[in-house]
Amino acid sequence: MLNLAGLYPPIPTPFDAAGNIAYDKLADNLRTWVTQPLDGIVMPGSNSEAAFLTRDERIQVWRVCAETLRASGKRLIAGTGVETTAETIELTKIAAELGAEAALALSPYFYKPAMTHDVLVAHYQAIADASPIPILIYNVPLFTGVDFTPETLITLAKHPQIIGAKDSSANVVKMTEVLAAQPDFQVLSGSAGALLAFLSVGSVGGIVALANIAAAPLRRVMDSFQAGDLATARQVQYSLMDINKAITLHFGVSGLKYAMDRVGLYGGPPRRPLLPLHEAGQTEIDRLLRASGLIA
Is it true that the peptide bond before 44 is cis, omega within 30 degrees of 0? yes
- E strand intervals along 150-225: 162-167, 186-189, 205-207
Q: How many residues does the chain have?
A: 296
* Inside any domain, residue 37: yes
- The answer to whether the beta carbons of residues 45 and 104 sit under 8 Å apart is yes
* Inside any domain, residue 1: no
> Does residue 229 surpass a pLDDT of 90?
yes
* Inside any domain, residue 259: no
- The answer to whether the beta carbons of residues 65 and 32 sit under 8 Å apart is no
Supply φ then ψ for residue 132, to 5 degrees: -85, -5
- The whole-angstrom separation of Cα 174 and Cα 155 is 14
- The answer to whether the beta carbons of residues 186 and 164 sit under 8 Å apart is yes
> Does residue 133 surpass a pLDDT of 90?
yes
DSSP 8-class letter at 272: T
Q: Which residues contact 68 (CB under 8 A, 6 or more apart)?
A: 27, 30, 31, 34
pLDDT digits (tens, 9 = 90+) for 142-185: 999 999 999 999 999 999 999 999 999 999 999 999 999 999 99
- The whole-angstrom separation of Cα 136 and Cα 150 is 15
| pLDDT at residue 222, as a whole number | 98
* Inside any domain, residue 260: no
Q: Which of 148, 160, 206, 212 is nearest to 184 (CA)?
A: 160
What mean pLDDT do residues 224-250 have? 97
- The whole-angstrom separation of Cα 189 and Cα 205 is 6
* Inside any domain, residue 61: yes
Buried b (16+ CB within 10 A) or exposed e, 176-189: bbbbeebeebbbbb
Distances (CA, A) of 9 to 17, 38, 131, 176: 24, 8, 23, 23
* Inside any domain, residue 287: no
Q: Which residues contact 146 (CB under 8 A, 6 or more apart)?
A: 107, 108, 109, 112, 115, 120, 139
Average pLDDT score over the chain = 97
pLDDT digits (tens, 9 = 90+) for 31-40: 999 999 999 9
Residue range(s) defining the domain that contains residue 114: 6-229
* Inside any domain, residue 223: yes
What mean pLDDT do residues 6-26 have? 98
> Does residue 290 surpass a pLDDT of 90?
yes
Query: How many folded domains does the chain comprise?
Result: 1
Given pLDDT bands bounded at 50, 70 and 90, which one contains residue 292?
very high
Q: Which residues contact 256 (CB under 8 A, 6 or more apart)?
A: 12, 47, 209, 212, 213, 247, 248, 267
pLDDT digits (tens, 9 = 90+) for 99-125: 999 999 999 999 999 999 999 999 999
| pLDDT at residue 1, as a whole number | 87
CATH number for the domain that contains residue 66: 3.20.20.70
Q: Which residues are catalytic?
A: 166
pLDDT digits (tens, 9 = 90+) for 72-95: 999 999 999 999 999 999 999 999
> Count of CB atoms within 10 A of residue 79's CB?
28
> Does residue 188 surpass a pLDDT of 90?
yes
Q: Is 255 left (phi over 0), alpha (psi -120 to 50) or beta?
A: alpha
* Inside any domain, residue 258: no
